């Protein structure tokens, strides 16, 4: 079992001789090789912008890009998103080639697992900090991943208020009794592709959002090159950007924890 961390106080900081950079941790992905019994943890940081440090003015560079690192035990995955489809968007580099040595702070406060159909609803209305863990696996490849993340956005509804929502979708959930429903939609997280074996777990990672409304399945919408639809009406070759568009639904074990 992976004990949840406090995402309000979890960081990693790069160390001298360069300047220190503090990154807030936004998700943690543990990839487990059941064939060898080994595992690796990857810490996805919050996104920032390309900048020049400690200048009088002009902090943000003109040809700017989003910068998002995922720290692994020996390799990092670094994302640099320009306004155009830059070829070096996703790079896998050794720790020394990335930002050098880091100091990691991952406090583990007391949490309780929320069990029962109304537990998530009550914890949401009580404004308790919530963390989810989504475990996915590929039995043929003997690989598993536990993706952990703070729940930033979620929906809840009681039976009394549910009827008007069912008319808005083609396949509404069935609600029994006088309970409640929940649905988590949050990200970005570091999604792990377990479809084949690889010597480098860092190669598995992509940015995604995750959604689920039951303990037994999860849906991911993964970032991928995407044609800009406006080009369809101009007769020109479609331009491309990166967007969360690739949808995947997987059998999963979803757990929700609330800080005590």
Q: How many domains does the chain have?
A: 1
Average pLDDT over residues 94-98: 80
133 φ/ψ angles, rounded to the nearest 5 degrees: -125, 125
Residue-level pLDDT at 168? 72
The answer to whether residue 231 scores a pLDDT higher than 70 is no
Average pLDDT over residues 96-121: 90
Helix (H) or strand (E) holding 160: helix 159-166
Enumerate residues 6+ apart whose C-beta is below 8 A from 168: none
pTM above 0.75, yes or no: yes
* Residue 97 in domain: yes
Cα dihedral 108/109/112/118 (nearest 10): -110
* Parent domain of 225: 11-259
Residue-level pLDDT at 235? 66
Provide the 10 A C-beta neighbour count for residue 73: 13
* Residue 153 in domain: yes
**Any alpha helices (H) in the chain, and if so which ranges?**
119-125, 159-166
User: What's the pLDDT tens digit per position in 159-205?
Assistant: 777 777 776 777 777 776 668 899 999 999 999 999 999 889 999 99
* Residue 36 in domain: yes
Average pLDDT over residues 98-120: 91
**Any alpha helices (H) in 198-259, and if so which ranges?**
none
* Residue 202 in domain: yes
pLDDT band at 101 (very low <50, low <70, confident <90, very high): confident
Contact 253, 215 (CB under 8 A): yes
* Residue 5 in domain: no
* Residue 3 in domain: no
Q: Which residues face 148 on adjacent strands?
A: 28, 133
């Amino acid at each position: 079992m992976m004990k949840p961390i406090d995402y309000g106080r979890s960081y990693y900081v790069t160390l001298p001789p360069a300047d220190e950079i503090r990154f807030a941790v936004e998700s943690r992905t543990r990839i487990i090789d059941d064939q060898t019994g080994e595992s690796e943890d990857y810490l996805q940081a919050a996104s920032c912008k390309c900048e020049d440090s400690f200048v009088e003015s002009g902090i943000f560079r003109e040809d700017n890009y989003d910068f998002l690192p995922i720290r692994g035990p020996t390799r990092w995955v670094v994302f640099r998103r320009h306004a155009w489809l830059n070829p070096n968007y996703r790079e896998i580099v050794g720790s020394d080639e990335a930002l050098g040595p880091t100091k990691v702070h991952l406090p583990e406060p007391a949490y309780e697992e929320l069990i029962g159909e109304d537990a998530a609803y009550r914890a949401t209305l009580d404004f308790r900090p919530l963390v989810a863990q989504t475990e996915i696996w590929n039995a043929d490849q003997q690989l598993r991943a536990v993706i952990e993340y703070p729940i930033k956005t979620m929906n809840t509804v009681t039976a009394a208020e549910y009827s008007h929502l069912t008319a808005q979708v083609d396949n509404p959930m069935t609600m029994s009794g006088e309970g409640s429903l929940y649905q988590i939609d949050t990200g970005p997280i570091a999604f792990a592709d377990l479809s084949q074996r690889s010597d480098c777990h860092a190669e598995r990672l992509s940015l995604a959002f995750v959604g689920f409304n039951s303990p037994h399945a999860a849906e991911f919408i993964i970032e991928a090159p995407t044609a800009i639809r406006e080009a369809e009406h101009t007769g020109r070759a479609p331009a491309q950007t990166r967007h969360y568009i690739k949808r995947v639904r997987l059998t999963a074990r979803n757990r929700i924890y609330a800080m005590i």
